[in-house]
Amino acid sequence: MTCVSELCANAIAHTASGRGGVFTVEVHCPRDGVARVAVTDDGGASVPAVGTGDLMAEGGRGLALVAACTSRWGYAEAYPGRTVWAEASWPVPVPSPDRPGKISRGSVTRPLRGGAA
């Protein structure tokens, strides 16, 4: 929820969506252990970027927070605006190779690692 809130706040603060426009939020779970949120806005003058790291700055930490809380994030042009997305992943049980259809105790997939895609 924090990441969804941050992406929506960025759409309002940094794009035409905050000046009388609109933005849309999509949530998708493409497979077990993965959730993806995407916010499509009306576009702005700059591209999404992680801030400079100045802890005393009034802003600029939002996408750093998104990057820290998710497996990966990125953006794509979506005429006439832009879509900023973030993906979170978590371990899920997987079937045992020894006994198809049975779940192995302690057997989990590993979360995705990395930064912007």
Asked whether 110 and 89 are in contact (CB, 8 A), the reply is no
pLDDT tens, position by position, 24-83 = 999 999 999 999 999 999 998 888 888 776 767 777 788 999 999 999 999 999 888 999
Distances (CA, A) of 100 to 32, 84, 96, 97, 109: 18, 39, 6, 6, 16
pLDDT tens, position by position, 80-95 = 899 999 999 999 987 7
- Provide the residue ranges of all domains of the chain, joining segments of one domain with +: 2-108
Question: Residues near 48 by Cβ (< 8 Å), separated by ≥ 6?
Answer: 10, 14, 63, 75, 82, 84
CA atoms within 13 A on the CB side of 80: 7
Query: pTM for this one?
Result: 0.75
State which CATH number among 3.30.565.10, 3.40.50.2000, 3.30.360.10, 3.40.50.150 fits the domain covering 2-108: 3.30.565.10
